[in-house]
Amino acid sequence: MADVRIDGADLIVELSGLDKLWALKSSLTIPLANVRGATLDPGITREFKGVKTAGTHVPGVITAGSFRVDGERVFWDVRNPMKAVVIELRDEHYTRLIVQVEDPHATIGLIEKSLLS
């Protein structure tokens, strides 16, 4: 699971527990200027993940780490699709972050509010 927070002008995504191991990453820092928005999309886990470049993919159990699909890099950390938030980015290493959070609606609200400020 990921903890998403805003720290000044940055979006911070911190992975917890074994997710750090499965994703081969403990955190991501993205300037808010490069965040396009966030949505709740439980169906995204049924989409083609692409080619795993680093991380773990066990269908129906966990998708965590870096994947490449259609020339784009996507970061995943999802076990429960009902809690998956998609964060769209621009001018970053990843084009999307797809992460499981405790409260998807609160996380989306936090991101959207920060983008309006």
pTM attached to this predicted model: 0.94
pLDDT at 44: 84
Percentage of the residues of the chain whose pLDDT score is greater than 70? 100
Q: How far apart are CA 95 and CA 39, in angstroms?
A: 14
Q: pLDDT class for 47, splitting at 50, 70, 90?
A: confident
